[in-house]
Amino acid sequence: MTAPFDAIDVIRAKRDGQLLGPEQIRWILGAYTAGAVPDEQMSALLMAVFFRGMSGEELSVWTRAMIDSGERKDLSALGRPTADKHSTGGVGDKITLPLAPLVAACGVAVPQLSGRGLGHTGGTLDKLESIAGWRADVHEEDYLRQLREVGAVVCAAGADLAPADKKLYALRDVTGTVESIPLIASSIMSKKIAEGAGALVLDVKTGSGAFMKDADGAHALARTMVGLGTDAGVRTVALVTAMDRPLGRSAGNAVEVAEAVEVLAGGGPADVVELTLALAREMLAGAGREDVDPAGALADGRAMDVWRRMIAAQGGDPDAPLPRPAEKHVVTAPATGTLTRLDAYAVGVAAWRLGAGRARKEDPVSAAAGVTWTAGVGDQVRAGEPLLELHTDEAERIPRALQALEGAIGVDTADRPLPLILERIV
């Protein structure tokens, strides 16, 4: 059967700055997913998109075609509103861990399909796998049953969710086309819309430890994603938040789980609590539950109860001790005064080099590896007192982690930290 379009004509059209028609977009994404268009031709199209961009209509059709390459989940049978959250990734960003059970404790189901870490940014699934017995794979019937009975699930996405994105994501990674707002936005939103939640809250990070280093780029990405979600009938809002310094007091795997449990127990670092509650309020509002104050569910233990049930439902033991590192190394404060810089990217790279992250998707990670710190930006420190603690299972990793931290700590400098929440976009 003759194809209705020629891939070369589609590539040339975008290369020359023409708008692609809906049928052209749907055809080439479908043909590529099915293997009828080879990687080299799709690579050329991605590069053309990288330089030429996409119109709002092109991007909407492109994203819809990616969703339609697989299954869009129907969660209407749950009998309760649903809301999801996506973060563009950062250092110490353990917010999903307390957020999902917190929102579920307030009566809104949370179908949270999460990923693994790569490079200096941590992955939610890697963190949760530091809990004894916990498993990331939850199959369809178990997934829906857990949403009904527990109210929250955090797990890996199945192969049926936006398969076009899986192929395109791998191709972008090796063709230098990752840093494109239309391609980033369509990748994120195709998966999130396909999850089937009625409301979506986006946490778009900006700063040294974020994918979008500057606030203007983060704003553009957030606005683009909100538009795609709204076009698809999902109530979508974005918060642009700071990632010039790491979140909380830990970056790694088990250390972040421990911190999340502190938050669920009514404690934890102030910035983690503030952002968790801000995102929870947005999720509840999107699901039509503005009347519920999530702070109450943290204070009275309801969120902790859901956490324990959520972990147990996926084979984990919420009471099991978390892995501890074989080696620790203390970094002291360089001076006395106000901590004005703790660079998020440097801390993330240090945690990665200690074994908390991976360089390739197939690499293993260490559950016990990571970095903790005793003071955040704006706090007082004293010269020579412990500031950071490096955790690893392999002592030979420590010197390279220390190299990553050179220049990362500043006391009484001219650095001005970003506000935790910079902007709200609807």
DSSP letters spanning 213-225: -SHHHHHHHHHHH
Same domain for 350 and 307: no
How far apart are alpha carbons 162 and 64 in whole angstroms?
10
Tell me if 83 is assigned to some domain. yes
Rounded to 10 degrees, the C-alpha dihedral 369/371/372/375 comes to 180
What is the distance between the alpha carbons of residues 52 and 48, in angstroms, rounded to a whole number?
6
Residues in the chain: 426
Closest CA to 276 of 424, 17, 102, 49: 102
* C-beta of residue 91 within 8 angstroms of C-beta of residue 121: yes
Instruction: Report the catalytic residues.
Output: 86, 165, 172, 187, 191
CATH of the domain at 36: 1.20.970.10
DSSP 118: B
In angstroms, the CA 86 to CA 226 distance is 12
Structure tokens at 267: 């404690």
Give the C-alpha separation, 402 to 347, whole Å: 10
Establish if 169 belongs to a structural domain: yes
Angle at 359 between CA 356 and CA 362, to 5 degrees: 90
Q: Is 244 exposed, middle or buried (0-12, 13-18, 19+ CB in 10 A)?
A: buried
Assess if residue 60 is contained within a domain.
Answer: no
The answer to whether 420 and 274 are in contact (CB under 8 A) is yes
| Residue 296 and residue 345 share a domain | no
Record the pTM.
0.95
For residue 158, tell me if it sits in a domain: yes
Distance from CA of residue 329 to its chain's centroid? 28
> Per DSSP, what are the bridge partners of residue 392?
327
Q: How far apart are CA 85 and CA 205, in angstroms?
A: 13
- Residue 268 in domain: yes
Q: Is residue 69 part of a domain?
A: no
Give the CATH number of the domain where residue 384 resides: 3.90.1170.30
239 burial level (CB within 10 Å; 0-12, 13-18, 19+): buried
Q: Going residue by residue through the chain, which has 426 residues, state the pLDDT in tens, using 9 for 90 and above.
A: 667 889 999 999 999 999 999 999 999 999 999 999 999 999 999 999 999 999 999 999 999 999 999 999 999 999 999 999 999 999 999 999 999 999 999 999 999 989 887 778 889 999 999 999 999 999 889 999 999 999 999 999 888 899 999 999 889 988 999 889 999 999 999 999 999 999 999 999 999 999 999 999 999 999 999 999 999 999 999 999 999 999 999 999 999 999 999 999 999 999 999 999 999 999 999 999 999 999 999 999 999 999 999 999 999 999 999 999 999 999 999 999 999 999 999 999 999 999 998 877 778 899 999 999 999 999 999 999 999 999 999 999 999 999 999 999 999 999 999 999 999 999
Determine the Cα–Cα distance for residues 420 and 239; give it in Å rounded to an integer: 10
**Contact between residue 96 and residue 124 where contact means Cβ atoms under 8 Å apart:** yes
Label each residue of 386-401 as H, E or C.
EEEEEEECCHHHHHHH
Answer yes or no: do 256 and 127 share one domain: yes
Asked whether residue 318 is assigned to any structural domain, the reply reads no
Range of the domain at 103: 76-313
User: Residue 389: left if φ>0, alpha if ψ -120 to 50, beta else—which one?
Assistant: beta
DSSP notation for 338-381: EEEEE-HHHHHHHHIIIIIS-SSTT----SS-EEEES--TT-EE
Instruction: Provide the domain count of the chain.
Output: 3
Given 281, 313, 345, which residue is the final one in a domain? 313
- 190 and 280 inside one domain: yes
Same domain, 42 and 189: no
